[in-house]
Amino acid sequence: MWTFAVLLVPLLPLLTTLIVLAGDEAAVRTRLTVAAWPIGVACAGALATLYLVATQGPITIRLYDPAGAFPLPLGFYVDRLSAVMMVLISAIGTIIYTYSIQYMSQEPHERRYFALLGVAVCVLLCMVSSSNLLMLFVFWQLLSYLLYLLIHNHTHTATLESAFRTFALLRTGDVAFLAGTALAYGLYGTLEFPELFAAAVQSEAVIELFSGVECSGATAVTLLLLIGAMSKSAQFPFHIWLPRYLYAPTPVTALLHAGIINAGGFLINRLAPLFGLSSTTLHIAFLIGTLTAVLGASMMLAQNDIKNMLGFSTIGQMGYMIMECGLGAFSLAVFHLIAHGLFKATVFLNCGNVIGKARLEPHVPHVEQRTDEESYSRLTWATGFVTTLLIPLLILLLTHGVLRIPLLEAQGTVIFLFFIWITSSQAILTLTRLRAVASWKVSAAMLLTLLFVVFVYLFAVESFTAFLYPNPDEVASYFKAAELPSRLFDIMIGVATLMTGLGWCYLYLRAHGRSLPMPSWVYGIRLRLYVLFLNRLHIDEGVQRLSQAQVAAVRRFEELAQGRTS
């Protein structure tokens, strides 16, 4: 009975689609309201599934046993990771669908939109609960097609071009995903997740890439799958499709940035035991994630449109998530995925209201009037400086020097502590902009923010990690596989610490009308970088010229072929 109930969770959103499409236009608004209930019930079922999996273990549902010409079984495998993702997807889907009922009213194609929304939620739920890699790939493909269809306004030229570019670019990652799936089956003889992980651990297969250049089978498979994850999660250089997708309706962009974009992070976590066998793949993921996080945040700061800013913010956060996977902190990446999904869904659903109010505001854009130095409280700045710089460093020194806890010999522990520090620094830096609030209240808010961030990350380290990965040896093996050379790791931590401190000094001096002494050429470089990030590194123009060159080459080839024929 419980197995059948779990099977209904991914299928209930299809009932939403049927209710929307049934009947005529006369009662369409009533049907749209009724059709929200199946997605809501699916959310309740996902919560019940999470409880069952947490208390009774993974649930396996077989729809087809291998026999004859089709050797791969079909079914669902729901473990704790799948159940958590099902709750997130169904909850966000319910919120977006309910919001869309009013938002999409009087749209000429609203029935198609709501029908596709139900299908999208169903496909996402099936993807995260697939029992093998091939099923996951099939639903991954369907998700790519739905991204093309959900663009909604196919009569707008720019919208249609962006939808086609998204569809074409995602095919590159999908080809790599399919190649990785085929290679995994060829090496290990199975695509069922538990059996696949067990076979990969026992396998000693080696693949010769070039003459004299070899790599392990796990490295070859995970590198191909990483490319697939990079394309769907908009990692550099595949990130160019995401900003162009913002022509879609606001609820669609909310679903994309809160759910669909997380597919790459889910794929890596779903295959964490396989990725944990390859230090090379984890290091490459860390490098790509770091580069994407830096470039995404830099391009976000240079944009002048709210949706573009949010889009590049998502790119930076996805880079942050892939970087966490590359460091072996898989549970932290899932925690980040959930927090970012809930946050971005809320922000995108509200950005339409912000744009509407801004158009009615006579004094847009606002010009910040710099007040005198007295408006910047020394208490506020001192509290922020101490909480983000001195206290974390003091804790590290005391813990390592007095208590003799070997933090420097455990990169995983340092990684978690460093993420606590960076996240709290970002939040506290934002609080320094408060002007109309008493300084002691701002200082209290900074301290509470630090405590909240520390509590949340410690929860992610202890409770959430133990929930997703109950075996501590497995977690330790992931950190061991992702371990960087000690000299490089120390340099990275030192540089990041130095940049954080210099950032505080720079902001403090700017707030008080001062500036750091810099050569004139530095300002020239800063201006060029601003223009470069504003134009998105000119990658879009490069891709467009490459496409035009390909079209011209094809036409030239056709002309030559026709000339020879005649």
Instruction: Compute the average pLDDT of residues 363-385.
Output: 60
Q: Tell me which DSSP letter residue 366 carries.
A: -
The distance from CA 396 to its chain's CA centroid, rounded to whole angstroms, is 30
How wide is the angle at C-alpha 269 spanned by C-alphas 148 and 8, nearest 5°?
65
Q: What is the pLDDT of residue 406?
A: 45
Helix axes 2-21, 80-103, angle to 10 degrees: 20
313 vs 310: CA distance, rounded Å: 5
Token pair 């997740």 in the structure block, residue: 193
Token pair 């809501």 in the structure block, residue: 40
Token pair 């960076």 in the structure block, residue: 422
Q: Tell me which DSSP letter residue 64 carries.
A: E
Q: What is the pLDDT of residue 514?
A: 65
The predicted-structure confidence for 398-443, as pLDDT tens digits, reads as follows 555 444 444 444 566 677 677 777 777 767 766 666 665 666 677 7
Question: Is residue 369 classed exposed, middle or buried when 0-12, 13-18 and 19+ CB atoms within 10 A define those classes?
Answer: exposed
Give, in order, the Cα–Cα distances in Å from 478 to each of 223, 389, 507. 16, 29, 38
Q: What is the pLDDT of residue 433?
A: 64
* Tokens describing residue 404: 């003799």
Q: What is the pLDDT of residue 490?
A: 74
How much of the chain exceeds pLDDT 90, in percent?
Answer: 0
Looking at the predicted structure, is the pLDDT value of residue 159 above 50?
A: yes
Model's pTM, two decimal places?
A: 0.81
536 vs 525: CA distance, rounded Å: 16
Q: What is the pLDDT of residue 405?
A: 45
The predicted-structure confidence for 9-60, as pLDDT tens digits, reads as follows 888 888 888 888 886 666 777 777 888 888 888 888 888 888 888 888 888 8
Looking at the predicted structure, is the pLDDT value of residue 348 above 60?
A: yes
Looking at the predicted structure, is the pLDDT value of residue 122 above 80?
A: yes
* Tokens describing residue 397: 């020194």
Q: What is the pLDDT of residue 373?
A: 44
Question: Residue type for 364, please?
Answer: V
Which positions ≥6 away from 84 have C-beta within 8 Å? 50, 334, 338, 468
Q: What is the pLDDT of residue 408?
A: 41
Q: What is the pLDDT of residue 263?
A: 84
The predicted-structure confidence for 508-530, as pLDDT tens digits, reads as follows 676 666 666 777 777 778 788 87
Looking at the predicted structure, is the pLDDT value of residue 554 above 50?
A: yes
The distance from CA 495 to its chain's CA centroid, rounded to whole angstroms, is 25
Q: What is the pLDDT of residue 409?
A: 47
Binned at pLDDT 50, 70 and 90, residue 141 comes out as confident
Instruction: Compute the average pLDDT of residues 369-382.
Output: 59
